[in-house]
């Protein structure tokens, strides 16, 4: 779908899209159209349930003499409530409505709205961003779709008095959107396509944007002593990898990097502690944490963020075989701490343990955030609305929550406490990789904290938010890329040179 920004001009064909405020208050363009259509818009509003709320739209067939096929009215809500997220959702809903109608093109009129705290340029850019995010579709393996099953919309134009201003606002949003799409693509791919080596190869392509990418293989990791990560992948025919991505966007002498670490289990059978067959196909997206880090590094580099950032992805495939790790095995992590593996399906924390330690040893980051589809327990606690947030630093936690609210990727802070930490003490090693039945997401976070030094650290358990079962205004069903926009916002607000 092509997105354009132009000055107001007479529409020609397609659908004309105009806004309506709550209580049926028409925007200037809607008023003009209503007059041209001899009150048809006002009459339609009086007959239906449409009130002008942001989640509403109403389509009207254009009468003779109006050079468009239909008029689509979209709700704006109250002027003082118009914000970035509302506008992005409206943009996404417009795309859904036009595709449902089989429309090929649409023109959105962006009007100055009295009482609104956002400019027309920001309105147009954010509606365009929402439209683009909603228009994403992973369809590379569909070969027999009927025409009526395919989206029809191929062009959406935003008309406003300052199109160049809108383009300027939209440009960095577009770069972030590219990172979101990369993550969605990676997470959507099946495990026979995305495995540790192929995912590492995808990450290497970031070098074209100026990201320095290094890939450590099993020999290098064994020499370093990454027994926790390597133990997870030892049952697979695929070689485990550690991808290290560096974006140097500033030469500041104080430029300690901010670091992001992602769990990349490209397929998780559970290993010897094998999962039930039902639903196991979903485990192709157990690498969503790593996919998010790769997409984030793409977004930061593409928009040339003035920040030094490190992204690390621990990539393994957890398979059962004659060489697979067994319950009861004891492994030695890169930190020197020993781990009794009680359950081989609690593997992501083993991968992150070595990746977190390596990150701190090599880069001495000012803060480190890890992302992982780590536990089903977080979905029991929070459902699929919020991701779980654990942190050893209140300021970092508050920044993350604020950034999540700004982009609509919500976090809920969960507790860390000594009473939970004691549950992972082992009789045979320094720790075991699982605690008691209750509080499983918390004990998983406590495990990770044992591999964090004094660095400000946060852990995001995205098991409930990395994949969507239903369409949302700006996110189609499937891979969500949860975390890319959140962490890009975090960098922009708190870590980037101004």
Q: Render pLDDT for 145-199 as a digit per residue (tens, 0 to 9).
A: 998 889 999 999 999 999 999 999 999 999 999 999 999 999 999 999 999 999 9
Residues 317, 192 within the same domain: yes
**How high is the pLDDT of residue 24?**
86
Describe the crossing of helices 163-188 and 288-302 by its angle, rounded to 10 degrees.
Answer: 150
Are residues 66 and 23 both part of a single domain? yes
Neighbouring residues of 279: CB distance < 8 A, sequence distance ≥ 6: none
Nearest alpha-carbon partner for 114 in 189, 27, 34, 223: 27
Which pair of tokens denotes residue 439?
Answer: 């509080």
Residue located via tokens 């992005």 = 88
Asked if residue 91 and residue 19 are part of one domain, the reply reads: yes
| CATH code of the domain covering residue 36 | 3.40.220.10
Is residue 485 located within the same domain as residue 377?
yes
Task: Reply yes or no on whether the pLDDT at 260 is more than 90.
Answer: yes
- Do 140 and 192 belong to one domain? no
Q: Is residue 165 part of a domain?
A: no
pLDDT at 69 > cutoff 80 = yes
Report d(CA 425, CA 126) in Å as an integer. 49
Which tokens go with 89?
A: 């959702």
Of 299, 292, 285, nearest to 313 by C-alpha is 292
Cβ(140)–Cβ(184) below 8 Å: no
What whole-number distance in Å separates Cα of residue 408 and Cα of residue 387? 12
Count Cα atoms within 13 angstroms, Cβ side, for 331: 30
Q: What are phi and psi of 84, to 5 degrees?
A: -55, -50
Give the pLDDT band (50/70/90) at residue 64: confident
* Six-digit token string for 253: 């002498």
Q: Lowest-pLDDT range, 58-62, 220-224, 231-235?
A: 58-62
Residue 167 forms part of a structural domain: no
Kindly state whether residue 169 falls inside one of the protein's structural domains.
Answer: no
Counting Cβ atoms within 10 Å, is residue 64 exposed (0-12), middle (13-18) or buried (19+)?
exposed
Per the CB < 8 A criterion, the answer to whether 89 and 54 are in contact is yes
User: What's the pLDDT tens digit per position in 36-60?
Assistant: 898 999 999 988 889 999 999 999 9
CATH number for position 260 = 3.40.630.10
pLDDT mean over 4-21: 91
At 254, is the pLDDT very low, low, confident or very high (cuts 50, 70, 90)?
low
Q: What is the mean pLDDT of residues 391-405?
A: 98
- Whether residue 470 has pLDDT greater than 70: yes
- pTM here? 0.97
Cβ neighbours, 10 Å, residue 219? 9
Kindly state the average pLDDT of the residues 259-273: 98
Look at residues 107, 134, 159 and tell me which one is the last residue of a structural domain: 159
Could you tell me if 448 and 301 lie in one domain?
Answer: yes
CA 355 to CA 2: how far, in whole Å? 40
Total count of domains within the chain: 2
pLDDT at 253 (0 to 100): 53
149 and 102 inside one domain:
yes
Classify residue 348: in a domain, yes or no.
yes
Task: Name the residues annotated as catalytic.
Answer: 275, 349
CA atoms within 13 Å, Cβ hemisphere of 493: 17
Domain stop point among 131, 159, 187 = 159
Average per-residue pLDDT for the chain: 96
In the structure, what pLDDT confidence band is assigned to residue 251 with cuts at 50, 70 and 90?
confident
Position 171 scores a pLDDT of 98
Flag whether 168 is in a domain.
no
Residues 95-154 pLDDT 10s = 999 999 999 999 999 999 999 999 999 999 999 999 999 999 999 999 999 988 899 999
Say if residues 424 and 432 touch (Cβ distance below 8 Å): yes
Same domain, residue pair 123 and 198: no
In this structure, are residues 365 and 259 in contact, taking their beta carbons and an 8 Å threshold? yes
Measured between alpha carbons, how far is 15 from 183 in angstroms, rounded to an integer?
32
Domain co-membership, 290 together with 433:
yes
Q: Does 250 share its domain with 140?
A: no
The C-alpha atoms of residue 349 and residue 463 are separated, in whole angstroms, by 13
Whether pLDDT at 73 is above 60: yes
Q: Determine contact, residues 362/346, Cβ cutoff 8 Å.
A: no
The dihedral through the CA atoms of 123, 55, 384, 480 has a sign that is negative
- Domain limits for position 62: 2-159
pLDDT at residue 362 tops 80: yes
Over residues 256-284, mean pLDDT: 97
Q: Is residue 238 predicted with pLDDT exceeding 90?
A: yes
Per-residue pLDDT, averaged over 482-492, amounts to 98
Name 186's Cβ contacts closer than 8 Å, sequence gap at least 6.
194, 199, 202, 287, 291, 294, 295, 479
Name the least confident of 52-61, 350-359, 381-390, 407-416.
52-61
Element holding 156 (H helix, E strand): strand 155-159
Say whether 399 sits in a helix, a strand or coil.
Answer: helix
Q: Where are the alpha helices (DSSP H) in 189-328?
A: 196-204, 218-224, 227-233, 288-302
The residue out of 132, 159, 186 marking a domain boundary is 159
Domain contains 475: yes
Same domain (yes/no): 309, 385: yes
* Residue 308 pLDDT > 60: yes
Give yes or no: residues 209 and 72 share one domain.
no
Residue 360 lies in a domain: yes
Residue 25 lies in a domain: yes
- DSSP annotation of 282: G
């Amino acid at each position: 779908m092509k997105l354009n920004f132009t000055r107001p001009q007479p529409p020609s064909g397609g659908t004309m899209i105009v806004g309506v405020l709550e209580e049926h208050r028409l925007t200037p363009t809607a008023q003009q159209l209503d007059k041209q259509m001899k009150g048809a818009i006002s009459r339609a509003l009086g007959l239906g349930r449409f009130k002008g709320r942001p989640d509403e739209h109403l389509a009207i067939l254009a009468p003779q003499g109006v050079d468009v096929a239909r008029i689509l009215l979209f709700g704006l809500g109250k002027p003082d409530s118009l914000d970035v997220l509302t506008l992005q959702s409206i943009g996404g809903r417009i795309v859904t409505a036009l595709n449902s109608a089989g429309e090929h093109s649409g023109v959105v009129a962006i009007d100055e709205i009295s009482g609104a705290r956002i400019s027309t340029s920001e309105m147009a850019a954010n509606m365009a961003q929402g439209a683009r995010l909603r228009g994403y579709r992973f369809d590379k393996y569909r070969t027999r779709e009927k025409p009526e099953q395919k989206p029809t919309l191929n062009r959406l134009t935003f008309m406003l008095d300052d199109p160049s201003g809108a383009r300027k606002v939209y440009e960095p949003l577009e770069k972030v959107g590219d990172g979101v799409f990369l993550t969605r693509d990676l997470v959507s791919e099946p495990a026979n396509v995305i495995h540790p080596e192929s995912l590492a190869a995808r990450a290497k392509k970031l070098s074209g944007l100026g990201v320095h990418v290094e890939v450590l293989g099993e020999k290098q990791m064994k020499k370093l002593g990454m027994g926790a990560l390597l133990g997870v992948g030892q049952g697979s025919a695929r070689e485990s990898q550690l991808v290290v991505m560096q974006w140097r966007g500033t030469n500041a002498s104080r430029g300690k990097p901010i670091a992001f670490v992602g769990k990349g289990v490209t397929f998780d059978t559970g290993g010897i502690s094998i999962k039930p067959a039902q639903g196991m196909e979903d485990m192709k997206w157990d690498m969503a944490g790593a996919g998010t880090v790769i997409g984030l590094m793409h977004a930061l580099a593409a928009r040339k963020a003035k920040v030094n950032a490190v992204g690390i992805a621990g990539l393994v495939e957890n398979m059962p075989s004659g060489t697979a790790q067994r319950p009861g095995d004891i492994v030695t992590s890169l930190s020197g701490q020993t781990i009794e593996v009680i359950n081989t399906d609690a593997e992501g924390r083993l991968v992150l343990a070595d990746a977190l330690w390596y990150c701190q040893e090599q880069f001495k980051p000012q803060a480190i955030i890890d992302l992982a589809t780590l536990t089903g327990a977080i979905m029991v606690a929070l459902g699929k609305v919020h991701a779980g947030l654990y942190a050893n630093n209140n300021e970092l936690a508050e920044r993350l929550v604020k950034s999540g609210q700004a982009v609509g990727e919500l976090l809920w802070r969960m507790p860390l406490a000594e009473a939970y930490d004691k549950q992972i003490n082992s009789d045979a090693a320094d720790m075991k990789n699982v605690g008691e039945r209750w509080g499983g997401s918390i004990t998983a976070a406590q495990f990770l904290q044992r591999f964090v030094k004094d660095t400000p650290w946060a852990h995001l358990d995205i098991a409930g938010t990395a994949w969507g079962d239903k369409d949302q205004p700006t996110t189609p069903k499937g891979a969500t890329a949860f975390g890319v926009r959140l962490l890009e916002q975090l960098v922009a607000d708190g870590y980037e040179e101004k």
